[in-house]
Chains A and B, each alone.
Chain A
């Protein structure tokens, strides 16, 4: 076999690097374009909510579906998340004789991170998936076209109430998750591990600030916006029959979940930066 000259090798390497760069750029360009499309869709839909005719009946229906029908699964997840997290933290803190800090640590972790993130993931899977499937089915069976032909703006009727309902409902569900998770933590720490109840509550009250809870609730509203915008957009733009509906639902849910987890980091950084600027004394902890 003839050995490759230096020039040929260099050419091949350059070609491979060029190909990789073009591939990466195309993917990035696709992501940027898709993000822009979803953002435009969401902004239009939120604005359309305030246009006439008002869609309060639809809003309440969707809040009932997203919120009320998610309460049980959220509460159940919260209970066991609180208990499991408490047990892990208890085991760790026991090594350094700091078990009295289990309560506040769990409270901070739940209210600031796990509460909104897990609620977001659960609701995105349950309600977001249902949104994408419902709108996708309506698209492929021409029900959305029928709305348009009837002189009804389909985004205002179908998408706006779903997005607004998700933004309003997510903080409420997160509040329930937080509360039940702390109940689970109390159950395990005080009732099972026989930790001092007064210390559990005193320390938690001492360390947990209203701003921590607000941070979680704010994140929850943003996650609600993200998953509902992504899932409704996927459903609304479905193509290709039953397979298309399945594809939209799958992609909508997966993308929502990834978005929630990735954006959580950036939101946390942003919120802490905000508090660092507005509250330089750092009393928030």
Chain B
């Protein structure tokens, strides 16, 4: 599938199943390849298993069955320590930014650097953190504020700067525009694209239910329904699709666009 975009897969998921109670399957045989160096948007109605799939890619959940290879490594069988080391290649922007509320904006960004780049001095760490905050578009006067003193948009910027702190190979965005007004939504979408273009080869995965955003920023789109991939392909593939549910979804997205 990823070959359609002429690139190898950054994430390969084969027949992934997940059940929390042993009876109902939230993910019921997901087969998906996320192309390397592109922006992939995973879309679907609420409750279709998007966040559960994301947690599997991050290694936060273990699959009931199936295989997940991320950046060429099978993560389902990794132990805690191995997975902890491996996750240094991830960057993630959470839905509500998940900033550490007892740290200032700049300290939030310093945190992952301090954890993984112990060779750097404190000054160097703060220098990198300030640079990342600027890249994310946060005004310098807000650097020393606590998350509670920042607006929703500013918090997203700090969360993004923190996710970028270690120059990750795989950037993941969990519902980045949920609850934001249209202006902020567009700002976050633009931020995702500019962040993706910062480092060549970075793979970005955006989980969203906003098809408009998917068409605006996505090179590749995967739509989930009932725990399965209903359709995965380029935006054009979605426009050309004959699948009823896809057509309905697309009609709303294109209408909005």
Q: Give residues in A with beta carbon < 8 Å to B.
A: 53, 137, 141-143, 145-146, 148-153
Contact of B115 among A141, A143, A145, A152 (CB under 8 A): A152
Q: Can you name 7 extra interface pairs (CB under 8 A) apart from A53-B118, A142-B98, A150-B90?
A: A142-B94, A146-B92, A146-B99, A148-B87, A149-B87, A151-B84, A153-B84
Q: Given contacts A150-B112, A153-B80, is CB(A143)–CB(B87) below 8 Å? A: no
What residue in chain B is nearest A141 (Cβ atoms)? B98
A149 touches B90 (CB 8 A): yes
Asked if B116 is an interface residue, CB under 8 A from chain A, the answer is yes
Q: Provide the bound-state CA to CA distance between A53 and B88, in Å.
A: 15
Contact of A149 among B58, B80, B81, B96 (CB under 8 A): B58
Asked if B85 is an interface residue, CB under 8 A from chain A, the answer is yes
Residues in B90-116 with C-beta less than 8 Å from chain A: 90, 92, 94-96, 98-101, 111-112, 115-116
What residue in chain A is nearest B111 (Cβ atoms)? A150
B96 touches A142 (CB 8 A): yes
A151 touches B115 (CB 8 A): yes
Q: Give residues in B with beta carbon < 8 Å to A.
A: 58, 60, 80-81, 84-88, 90, 92, 94-96, 98-101, 111-112, 115-116, 118, 162, 166, 172
Contact of A151 among B85, B95, B100, B172 (CB under 8 A): B85
Q: Given contacts A149-B58, A152-B115, is CB(A141)–CB(B96) below 8 Å? A: yes
14 examples of A-B residue contacts, CB within 8 angstroms:
A137-B101, A143-B99, A145-B94, A145-B98, A146-B92, A148-B87, A149-B58, A149-B60, A150-B111, A151-B85, A151-B86, A151-B88, A152-B84, A152-B112
Closest 6 pairs (CB-CB, A-B)? A142-B98, A151-B87, A151-B88, A146-B98, A149-B92, A150-B112
Q: Provide the bound-state CA to CA distance between A183 and B213, in Å.
A: 70
- Give the shortest distance, in Å, between A158 (CB) and chain B (any CB): 11
- Give the shortest distance, in Å, between B190 (CB) and chain A (any CB): 23
- Give the shortest distance, in Å, between A206 (CB) and chain B (any CB): 51
Chain B residues, CB < 8 A from A145: 60, 94, 98
What residue in chain B is nearest A134 (Cβ atoms)? B102
Chain A residues, CB < 8 A from B172: 149
- Give the shortest distance, in Å, between B76 (CB) and chain A (any CB): 16
